Chains A and B, each alone.
Chain A
Amino acid sequence: MRAMTTTPSQRLARGLLPLTLMLSTATFAQDATSGGEVEVLNWWTSGGEAKALGALKDELADDGIGWQNMPVAGGAGTNAMAVLRSRITSNNPPTAAQVLGYDAQDWADRDALSSLDDVAEAGNWDEVFPQPIQRFAKSDGHWIAAPFEIHSTNWVWANTSMMEALGIEQPETWDDFIASLKTAQEAGHTGLAYGGQPWQDATVFENVVLATGGADFYRQAMIDLDPEALDSDTMVESFENFRELLQYKDDNSPGRDWNLATAMVINGDALYQIMGDWAKGEFLNADLTPGEDFMCFRTPGTQEAVTFNSDLMIMFDTGDEQQQSMQRTMAEIIGSPEFQITFSQFKGSVPARNDLPSDELDACAQRGYEQAKAAADSDTLLGSMAHGYAAPASVKNAVFDIVSSFVNGNMPSDVAAEQLAMAVQGASS
């Protein structure tokens, strides 16, 4: 998820991408024929992500399989997916690719993927991976993707020393949460460290919807896309709560990258940030200890539920025996208990399997892992709208449009709910 950070140079790269696509794919095409190697398309290029991917590379090397990395950085995978499309269209698929959300289903619908059923059966995947994950990793009852981990997006990251200095207890309800933000603001701090980019707006918004309406309402509105729920009084109330929360961000937030917002909490400029668990990596890189120097807790009002996203590895049907056996080995490794733990340690996530001990994870991840398991059991492990696990990309972006306009303008809450319902309908028609 780090790839969502966009520096000016990455924006530049994104702008130039369509031009460079053809050139880069042409060179990849020549290398792909060498034997005994897997070619893996991904956008994991930053510190923790690259280390996590390195774990997979090492495991494969132990099995004598070479690794040909094909990183395409930037744009939350947008660039990588563009490269992938051109590779598939030119009939030259990579061995495997890291994808998010509905993309795996889309490729499966085009019969581009290898089935992983035999690996899944041997590894008992039907039992160990929670249903909501299977929803994305299976197509028509067949396994088509190997899930790496579970990231969850309903976390608050808090500066412990500021909380102590201001006498703030960890808030349990939405009202307490707002009250603590107010305390921080009155003491001259920024309450909420906020990055004003569409996906971050939507990440915070989905937290507010979940806290306001509860898990059932979230499912109805964000996953089932029920027009009545989208334009309901509860949604209007969600927008009102969102507006109230936005009072506690600073004025300079538009366009800010998420990791810069995290740095505000780290440096003691802001009290909280609402962000997915990848934010933890920033704290750990600053040599801070979870539970002592910073706190992680579920967004107040959403403790019962977990909104998730999950990286998936899909394997392409290359029609080559050797490639197929290597793909199976790779899927086996990704689904294995040891790898799931190692990977999550590097990536800041929690394992996607629900049958592992949590003692090797850090304090935040231990709690997160137990909560994710509990949520899966009580059917409140919900796909994140902001990260493409609630609805396909077209709908997700239509939601971004409205939410960002709401954040950056003076749109009244009832108009916002009405527009949201219309935009979602327009995008899903």
Chain B
Amino acid sequence: MSKPPSSRGAGARERLQHWLPKLVLSPSFVLVLFFVYGFILWTSYISFSDSGMLPDYTWAGTRQWSRLWSSWTWGIALHNIWVFGLLYIVSCTLLGLLLAILLDQRIRAEGTLRTIYLYPMALSFIVTGTAWQWFLNPGLGLERTMHSLGWESFSFNWLIDANMAIYTVVIAAVWQATGFIMAMFLAGLRGIDGEMIKAAQIDGAPTWKIYLRIVIPQLRPVFLSAIVVLAHLAIKSFDLIVAMTGGGPGNATAVPATFMYSYAFSRNEMGIAAASAVFMLAVIAALIIPYLYSELREPRS
């Protein structure tokens, strides 16, 4: 008597177990499919349309793309993202690695120091940008303080110098992200087998050589992750620049993201904005897809 109901119950449970994950995942799957991939397609289409103030679905071929590439500010934006991205990635990686190695020397109060270095990452880019803007503004911050302390000849006006302003953004961005990269390297260092280092020490290898030949090569996956994380942060950089320089002086610190915002929202040039967005997506995809591919493949092989 008791068997049939229980087997029916078991069958229902099995079916539920089979369907539940799919049921739970499907709304988010549909939402992501529509709002992410759907709008990627929509934006791509808009970049080939006549859209100005509002979306306009008239096919315009590559007109918006050629206007994008002949635009004065787009040239500046690309140059800036190249300068910014390169300096940002290289400085963060090197500084992060250096800090991690120094912190890894079994020093006292390591936990406190690590937290201090990591804290900037907890701030939003808006806060970082605003704070650094005040700090570097010659009329408000560092330069003025130095002058009032009596160092009259001190001058640091990069923020308002069109040729140097992009470097102030690099400084602020590096300040923010270095701690995070340091934490990544620290985790990587902790994962290295101590026996190997001890063996090298017994063989009489100098410390710098141990790091150069044994430790750093083993950190290869961390380097890869750090570079991918930093590269997409660099390309997405928008809020930091808006808060710090507003893209100025003039257009001196325009980057593709601020370019896109300005063309979409204040210049009534939705077509060009869409073209620049698609271009940015393509660049990010070119960086991320090979990385994801290698990451997702490894466990199976």
Contact = CB atoms under 8 A, between A and B. Distances in A.
A426 B262 CA distance: 16
Contacts, number: 110
Given A8-B243, A252-B160, A408 B265 contact: no
Contact of B243 (A11, A252, A422, A423): A11
A106 B53 contact: yes
Contacts of A252: 137-139, 160
A88 interface: yes
Interface in A9-41: 11-12, 14-15, 17-18
A35 B251 CA distance: 47
Contacts of B245: 255
Contacts of B269: 394
Nearest to A77: B266
A405 B75 CA distance: 13
A380 interface: no
Contacts of A12: 126, 130, 239, 242-243
Given A8-B133, A252-B139, A404 B251 contact: yes
Nearest to A82: B265
B155 to A, nearest CB: 10
B10 interface: no
A254 B249 contact: yes
Contacts of B72: 398, 401-402, 405, 419, 422-423, 426
Contact of B250 (A8, A81, A201, A426): A201
User: How many interface residues does chain B have, given as a range?
Assistant: 35 or more
Contacts of B250: 196, 198, 201, 401, 404-409
A27 B74 CA distance: 37
Nearest to A255: B248
Contacts of B53: 85, 103, 106
Nearest to A76: B266
A337 B31 CA distance: 54
Nearest to B133: A8
A196 B138 contact: no
Interface in B60-77: 67, 70-73
B54 A110 contact: yes
A82 B266 CA distance: 8
B267 interface: yes
Given A11-B243, A85-B54, A402-B72, A254 B267 contact: no
A197 interface: yes
B252 interface: yes
A78 B265 contact: yes
Contacts of A253: 160
B266 A401 contact: no
A254 B133 CA distance: 12
Contact of A15 (B137, B243, B249, B252): B243
Interface of A: 6, 8, 11-12, 14-15, 17-18, 75-76, 78-79, 81-82, 85, 88-89, 103, 106, 110, 196-198, 201, 251-255, 392-394, 397-398, 401-402, 404-409, 419, 422-423, 426, 429
19 contacts: A8-B130, A12-B126, A12-B242, A81-B265, A85-B53, A110-B54, A196-B160, A196-B250, A198-B250, A252-B137, A252-B138, A252-B160, A254-B159, A255-B248, A393-B267, A394-B268, A394-B269, A405-B250, A426-B71
Given A12-B130, A198-B250, A252-B139, 4 more contacts: A392-B268, A401-B251, A405-B252, A409-B250
